[in-house]
Structures are given as structure tokens and as C-alpha cells.
Structure 1
Amino acid sequence: MALMDFFRKKSSGDVAKDRLKLLLISDRANCSPEVMELIKNDIIKVISKYMEIDCENLDIQITQTESDGQNGHVPALCANIPIKDLKHKDQLR
């Protein structure tokens, strides 16, 4: 199952790369890396309930986007989550 891939042991380089990404994202969003990790884990948990996803290649970022109003640039959550398969009704928990 793809969720088990999420818990597999990563190399120290992968861990360092993930921490750096998380630090940059949290800086842009003005929230702590811990909160960003909680958000990422919640997104994975919810989507995994309905779809089999590729946790190894997902990418969740905070970017800046132009506001419709007069707020200028505002943070936006962008997620690229590869879907391996949709779960059938009998697989939903």
C-alpha cells in the first residue's frame, strides 16, 4: 500500500532535503515547520482515504499568488499528488 511507503526509512540526504523544503515553505507561509508537517500529514491522510497515492513523489508547497481583491500577493497552498488508483466503494473506510 502507498501509505506504507510514507513510513519507510529515508536516506539522510532525503531527510535533509525534506527539512529544507519544509523550512522554506513555512517561512513563506509565516507558520512553523511543525504546523506545515501536520498540514501535509492531514492532506495525505484524507486523500489516502479515497485514492491510492504516490507518497514518494508528492509535492506540497506554499507559493505566492495575486489576490482577486486589493490584498496584493497572498500565500496559496499548491499540491502535486500523483494518484496511482481510485479506491472502490468496498475499499473505503
Structure 2
Amino acid sequence: MDLFKLFGRSDNKSKNVAKERLKLVLIHDRANISPHFLEILKGDIIRVISDYMVIDEEGLDIKLTRTRRESDNTPIPALIANIPILKMKEGSMK
């Protein structure tokens, strides 16, 4: 058994996790959006969507990332929301 390979895998995973976290910090910083503001935005999104459907708030995942604009390929911040919908509320589909 090669202990270096065993420990190397763990280091590689930790390295990737740290790299992803750093990317998120940089994106928040460049977009001038604080984590507190993102939490407020998340709460607002939950309130609005909850008027129309029942959602799984624990499974909710909202994050800020970077994407490229189609027209000129300029990098821009993007808000990505994964919102598990449990069911539509009665009377919301008029």
C-alpha cells in the first residue's frame, strides 16, 4: 500500500474544495455582494416563490457564480438558484 498515494488523494480533494471556495469569495468580491446581502436576497426569493408553491427550503441552493454574456463573451456575475418544488399551491395557476 502506497501511503503517499492515499494521502495525496485527500490533499487533492482538499485542494479542489479550497480552490472552489476561493472562486466564490472572488466572485462575491468582484460583484460587490456581501454574504449578508445574498442571505437577504435568498429570503426574498423564498417569500415570493412561497406565495405560489410549496418548496423544500432545506434543499434550496442559491449561489453567485460567473458566466459569460452571449453577445460579447464578457464575464458577468450570475445568480444560480436550485429550488426544489414540492407542490403548487391551490389557486396559484389562474
TM-score bin (small chain): 0.5 to 0.7
Partner of 1:36: 38
Instruction: Please give the residue correspondences for 1:5-84 in structure 2 after superposition, counting only pairs within 5 Å.
Output: 24=25, 26-27=28-29, 29-70=31-72, 72-84=74-86
Q: What CA deviation, in whole Å up to 9, does each residue of 1:55-87 have, x standing for no partner?
A: 001100111111123361100111000000000
Structure 1 unmatched runs, 5+: 1-19
Q: What CA deviation, in whole Å up to 9, does each residue of 1:4-24 have, x standing for no partner?
A: xxxxxxxxxxxxxxxx8xx84
Q: Aligned to 1:88, what secondary structure does the other structure show?
A: coil
Give the whole-Å Cα distance in 1 for the aligned partners of 2:30 and 2:84: 24
How high is the sequence identity, in percent, across the aligned residues? Answer: 52
Partner of 1:11: none
Structure 2 unmatched runs, 5+: 1-20
Q: Aligned to 2:71, what secondary structure does the other structure show?
A: coil
* Matched pairs, number: 69
Q: State the superposition RMSD in angstroms.
A: 2.3
The 3 A distance-change label for structure 1 pair 84 and 36 is: same
Question: Normalising by structure 2, what TM-score?
Answer: 0.63
Give the whole-Å Cα distance in 2 for the aligned partners of 1:56 and 1:41: 13
Q: Which has the larger radius of gyration?
A: 2
- Runs ≥4 in structure 1, deviation > 4 angstroms? none
User: How many Å apart are 1:43 and its aligned residue?
Assistant: 0.3
